[in-house]
Amino acid sequence: MVVCDACGRENPSDSRFCNGCGAVLGAPPEPRREERKVVTVLFADLVGFTSRAERLDPEDVRALLDPYWRRLREELEHFGGTVEKFIGDAVMAVFGLYRSREDDAVRAVRAALAMLDAVEKLSVEVEATHGARLRMRVGLDTGEVVVTGMAGQGGGEFMVVGDTVNRAARLQAAAQPGTVLISTETVNQVRGSFGLRRVPGLQLKGIEGVVDAYTVVGADERPEFWPEARGIEGLITRTVGREPELAQLQQLFEEVVADRSRRGVTVIGEAGVGKSRLVHDVETWLYGLPTDVWAAPEPLGCPA
């Protein structure tokens, strides 16, 4: 009998094709697919956990890590990340693996902040039962990687390799406990969405020369109210070079209000040219108008 690798059906030994699904019997396995992608890689690890775990029973360690793994996976997947692997108390995740989004790096940073918050809350429970606090640090880098095993799009095993992975791991090791440390490449993708404090001249293991990195210090949308903004890259910036596009969208909205009609607008451009910022500027302008201008009796919708 010959067992079909595709569906598991048993077939006569002289069969060339499966009687169940029609697949070629005895065909060599399909080679693993490789693909180059630009992603944001996240590394997170508990600080000093290994030494604490050595003093605990293995079953206690497992009971302690189970909710930790579960909470981290929930936060990562909530923000669109894909867990590549858990190694003990460390986790590696990738943003932009199966579906690339313009805000993958922003999602990764938000996931990292949510993970820190989750671990802080979990630490209260752990301290009550095991007498030890949990502290985590996170590193992120954005860049090109090679992904092996992409077949399946969301299922099955895969592996991500490249300098981006190494830098994310080294940034995690250089981060202070309870913080998120990101590379300049990631900063270029998230500037304007977070408060960032520059950490210059880092010497990362296995990486030549010194590098600058940034600690994420806040995600407040109105940084002018932060009590201590010194040394922090703020969020308030002025859009430069988009006056014609902004004026065009403003004019279209005014025509919609005047004619009581509807318009569809598509903003197209390469990643990083400022599409989301242009839409944000239009929304800011719109909600700065008197309420009776845009709150029409029949909803007109918000310009896209």
pLDDT in the model for residue 171:
95
Q: Tokens representing 288? A: 């700065």
Residue 300, pLDDT > 50, answer no
Q: Which fold has domain 34-233?
A: Alpha-Beta Plaits (3.30.70)
Q: Alpha helix (H) ranges present in 38-162?
A: 49-53, 58-78, 104-130
Q: Which residues touch 186 (CB under 8 Å, ≥6 apart)?
A: 40, 105, 108, 109, 140, 141, 142
Give the residue-averaged pLDDT of 37-66. 75
Please report the pLDDT score of residue 131 as a whole number.
62
Among 68-72, 227-231, 233-237, whose mean pLDDT is lowest?
227-231
How many Cα atoms occupy the beta-carbon half-sphere of 190 within 13 Å? 30
Judge whether 276 and 103 are in contact, CB under 8 Å. yes
The radius of gyration computed from the CA coordinates of the chain, to the nearest angstrom, equals 25
Instruction: Name, of 12-26, 145-159, 232-246, the range with top average pLDDT.
Output: 12-26
At residue 297, what is the residue type? P
Least confident of 40-49, 185-194, 260-269, 285-294: 285-294
Contact 88, 50 (CB under 8 A): yes
User: Which of 38, 138, 136, 148 minimizes the C-alpha distance to 94?
Assistant: 38
Domain parsing of the chain, residue ranges: 1-30, 34-233, 243-294
Beta bridge mates, 82: 94
| Pairing mode of beta strands 136-148, 159-161 | antiparallel
Identify the band that residue 256 occupies on the pLDDT scale cut at 50, 70 and 90: confident
CA 158 → CA 146, 197, 300, distances in Å? Answer: 10, 34, 45
Are 154 and 107 in contact, with CB atoms under 8 Å apart? no
Taking the C-alpha atoms of residue 233 and residue 20, their distance in angstroms, rounded to an integer, is 62
Q: Is the per-residue pLDDT at 151 higher than 80? A: no
Query: Do 11 and 18 touch, CB atoms closer than 8 A?
Result: yes
Q: At 250, which helix (H) or strand (E)?
A: helix 243-259
Q: Is the pLDDT of residue 154 over 50?
A: no
What is the per-residue pLDDT for 143?
94
Model pLDDT, residue 227: 36
Dump strand ranges (E) for the chain.
2-3, 10-11, 34-46, 81-87, 90-95, 136-148, 159-161, 180-183, 195-202, 211-218, 232-233
Average pLDDT of the residues of the chain: 78
